[in-house]
A and B are shown apart, each in its own frame.
Chain A
Amino acid sequence: GAVVSQHPSWVICKSGTSVKIECRSLDFQATTMFWYRQFPKQSLMLMATSNEGSKATYEQGVEKDKFLINHASLTLSTLTVTSAHPEDSSFYICSAIPVETQYFGPGTRLLVL
């Protein structure tokens, strides 16, 4: 089946630093990828749609200058959390659609101290 990978799987950083998370489609090309965030014991919330070769589309309430998305190739999208704060600590999950359903990466757990 389709495989979506993420790196790193977990990261701990200091408040004020920036963190980059990579999302790769390993066996298919993805012109569109999605980034979600999940807080503990809550559901997933769509943050943004990452479009290869063009600007990302952000959901209402998501700061585009804080969560920078780059989709430079058909197999890689990156999410950079800039000037991270403790409230940005969360589980970040990307997804892509190889055929008819969205496949999710394994997620990146971010802890900001």
Chain B
Amino acid sequence: ELKVEQNPLFLSMQEGKNYTIYCNYSTTSDRLYWYRQDPGKSLESLFVLLSNGAVKQEGRLMASLDTKARLSTLHITAAVHDLSATYFCAVAPGGGADGLTFGKGTHLIIQP
């Protein structure tokens, strides 16, 4: 059974600071997804990482994937309040055409 673990599950930080969210998964997979969810809303796609060593950046967010370590990171640079949300990583166990297994999510609060 595929397990996806995120940490931390809750993070409160100040604007301007940097931080990293970690996502570990238990079985081999060549693609990993990051999503953002705002309260009461559905999921917004942030990144899909398709290969070992993949790195993608969008604004203040940067995601990376190490398939050998089964680890992905989501790094936040110089956080701003608008990034407050819940962030989920997810893995497709059999490839891109499968349903996703999600981590528990990281609830991020960025305080002015």
A44 near B48 with CB under 8 A, answer: no
Which of A11-19, A74-82, A95-103 sits within the interface? Answer: A95-103
A-B interface pairs (CB < 8 A), number: 48
Q: How large is the interface on A (under 10, 10 to 19, 20 to 34, 35 or more residues)?
A: 20 to 34
Interface residues of A in 88-113 (CB under 8 A from B): 93, 95, 97, 100-107
Contact with A along B28-46 (1 / 0, CB 8 A): 0001010100000111110
- Which residues of B have CB within 8 Å of A107? 41-42
Question: Which residue of A34, A43, A100, A106 contacts B99 across the interface (Cβ within 8 Å)?
Answer: A34
Known interface pairs A43-B103, A44-B102, A46-B101; A101-B48 also in contact (CB < 8 Å): yes
Shortest CB distance A45–B (Å): 8
The residue that A104 contacts in the complex, of B31, B43, B101, B103, with Cβ under 8 A, is: B43
The answer to whether the Cβ of A25 comes within 8 Å of any Cβ in the partner chain is: no
Q: How many residues of B sit at the interface, in one of the four size bands?
A: 20 to 34
Rounded to whole angstroms, the CA-CA distance of A25 and B43 in the bound complex is: 16
User: Closest residue of chain B to A91, judged by CB?
Assistant: B42
Could you tell me if B96 and A46 are in contact, using CB atoms closer than 8 angstroms? no
Which of B41, B44, B48, B102 sits near A43, CB closer than 8 Å?
B102
User: What residue in chain A is nearest B46 (Cβ atoms)?
Assistant: A101
Interface residue from A32, A43, A46, A106 paired with B88 (Cβ < 8 Å) = A43
Residues of B within 8 A of A (CB): 31, 33, 35, 41-45, 48, 50, 88, 90, 96-105
Residues of A near any B CB (own CB < 8 A): 32, 34, 36, 42-46, 49, 59, 93, 95, 97, 100-107
